[in-house]
Structure 1
Amino acid sequence: MTDRLPLQRAAAVLFDLDGVLTDTAAVHRRAWTTLFTEFLPPEVAPFTDDDYYRLVDGRPRVDGVRAVLSSRGLRLPDGTEDDVPEAATVHGLGNRKNGRFTEIVRRDGVHVFDGSQRLVDALAALRIPMGVVSSSRNAVLVLDTAGLLDRFAVIVDGIAVERDGLAGKPDPAMYLAAADALGVAPAHTIVVEDAVSGVEAGRRGGFRVVGVDRGTGPAALRAAGADEVIGDLADLLT
């Protein structure tokens, strides 16, 4: 963007987590693909990477399940968040996917993108407040495993969505809640996102939005409202 808000003048920076700070988006994609490869009947179209980016990426887990089922003309009862992973309900499928994801994280650990680590270190040195806004209910687990948990003053995640009755992305409620908790104005705050739904949430909330292209594509991020699209978070240090 030609009128980029310099980092040193930002009131705060709010990050999505998976695919922005940590290389866990691929783990989510793997878990979703395994789930729907096993669950979808053979007469409907198989789950693809395009489905992941269009229907699942950045959204609360149960919203992703509903979107994929709807795209195939399928419906399941919602059930409750306590449903066992074997249950044929929206929450059951979501819990099944979550089990796959946490198993991989605990077994293989979490990789932090080098450029993301550099940016977080630079912002900490500038004493600019940082927050994480993630639809995942595993945000604290991922941040703790990655050694980043103590860097963020605010975490608004999938657990907060359920607890506080917040609408998920692309609604701006999660980002607005994080800004409110930090006491900062959206217009002076930078949102960093890799998902179309997250970029749209930041734009609708009045934030300055940086899109990180990890596979979604620059055109899709710009169309969703990104002020700038980069390939790596270290690009914001130049």
Structure 2
Amino acid sequence: MIQRERPAAAIFDVDGVLLASPHEQAWRGALSGFADPAGFTTAVYQAEVAGKPRVAGAFAALRALGVADADRQAPLYAAAKQALLETLIRSGAVEAFPDALRLAAAIAALGWPMAVASSSRNANAMLQPVRLPDGRSLLALFAGNVCGRSFHEGKPNPEIFLAAASELRVDPIRCLVIEDAPSGIEAARAGNMTALGIARLHDDTLLQQAGADLVVDSLDDVDLEALAAGRLGVRPS
């Protein structure tokens, strides 16, 4: 990897990084009446939807699936997805990734300020119930929170990450962004930040092509000793 400015703060995406949320399930389940749900593969979700604002993701998905009037149908599809997602959240279909909790705790122990940054307006509702071993909410680890805010443009525009850096009062060039979506990696690099890709869906190549400085299959693979020294690398086997 190319080592950039030494990071001293961390910005975590939520869906797919911190949480195994039912977003993809909701997008696929809401497709009935708009397009064939069988066409909505994980690859389509990652390439067209993940990390984008709701209506923009709906439009991109419908267009990718060949829906002729995608621009007209997108708000309706987005609303159907949101209703289904809220039902899934209430049913408890959200879990935290253990490796992400360990990495967040390790970075907090370094004294780095951290923020959460997700375009999803559901992010805070999903994060709040997640508890740390000491009983606090996971949100207690983060000094900055820009989840669900309205921005002029979604990822791959870096606006959301720049806002998070501003909340942390850290120069963007000193920020490490942890992302699972190519659009999020592109946003981090556009903001001149170091980008760590987590390939939970075995999409290493897509994350590398998007410009990730390092891609890992598990956040447990991140070398914490190197991170403490301001370097990003893989833990020795």
Q: TM (normalized to structure 2)?
A: 0.84
How far residue 77 of structure 1 moved from its aligned partner, in angstroms, is 5.8
C-alpha distance in 2 between matches for 1:235 and 1:130? 20
Supply the AA of the counterpart residue of 1:35.
A
How far residue 47 of structure 1 moved from its aligned partner, in angstroms, is 2.4
Q: SS where residue 131 of structure 1 aligns?
A: strand
- The answer on 1:32 being equivalent to 2:31 is no
CA contact (8 A) 1:187 1:208 kept: yes
Q: SS where residue 178 of structure 1 aligns?
A: helix
User: Identity over the aligned pairs, expressed in percent?
Assistant: 39
How far residue 41 of structure 1 moved from its aligned partner, in angstroms, is 4.7
Q: Flag structure 2 segments of 5+ consecutive residues without an equivalent.
A: 132-137, 225-234
Q: Cα RMSD between the aligned structures?
A: 2.1
Q: SS where residue 208 of structure 2 aligns?
A: helix
Deviations 1:160-219 (CA, angstroms, capped at 9, x unpaired):
12xxx4310011111011111111112111001000000000011100000000115111
Q: 2:145 aligns with which of 155, 164, 168?
A: 155
CA contact (8 A) 1:109 1:146 kept: no
How far residue 113 of structure 1 moved from its aligned partner, in angstroms, is 1.2
Supply the AA of the counterpart residue of 1:107.
S
Deviations 1:114-146 (CA, angstroms, capped at 9, x unpaired):
111111111222221111111111111011022
Q: 1:96 to 1:67 in 2, by over 3 A?
A: same
Q: Flag structure 1 segments of 5+ consecutive residues without an equivalent.
A: 79-88
C-alpha distance in 2 between matches for 1:109 and 1:194? 19
Q: 1:69 aligns with which of 62, 70, 80?
A: 62
C-alpha distance in 1 between matches for 2:70 and 2:61? 11
Supply the AA of the counterpart residue of 1:226.
A
C-alpha distance in 1 between matches for 2:199 and 2:70? 33
Q: SS where residue 108 of structure 1 aligns?
A: coil
CA contact (8 A) 1:118 1:234 kept: yes
What does residue 60 of structure 1 align with? 53
How far residue 227 of structure 1 moved from its aligned partner, in angstroms, is 0.4
Aligned residue pair count? 217
C-alpha distance in 1 between matches for 2:214 and 2:202? 14
What does residue 50 of structure 1 align with? 43
Q: SS where residue 184 of structure 2 aligns?
A: helix
- The answer on 1:23 being equivalent to 2:20 is yes
- The answer on 1:139 being equivalent to 2:123 is yes
CA contact (8 A) 2:35 2:62 kept: no
Q: TM (normalized to structure 1)?
A: 0.84
What does residue 84 of structure 1 align with? none
C-alpha distance in 2 between matches for 1:16 and 1:51? 19
Deviations 1:52-76 (CA, angstroms, capped at 9, x unpaired):
1111111111111111222314225
- The answer on 1:14 being equivalent to 2:11 is yes
What does residue 110 of structure 1 align with? 94
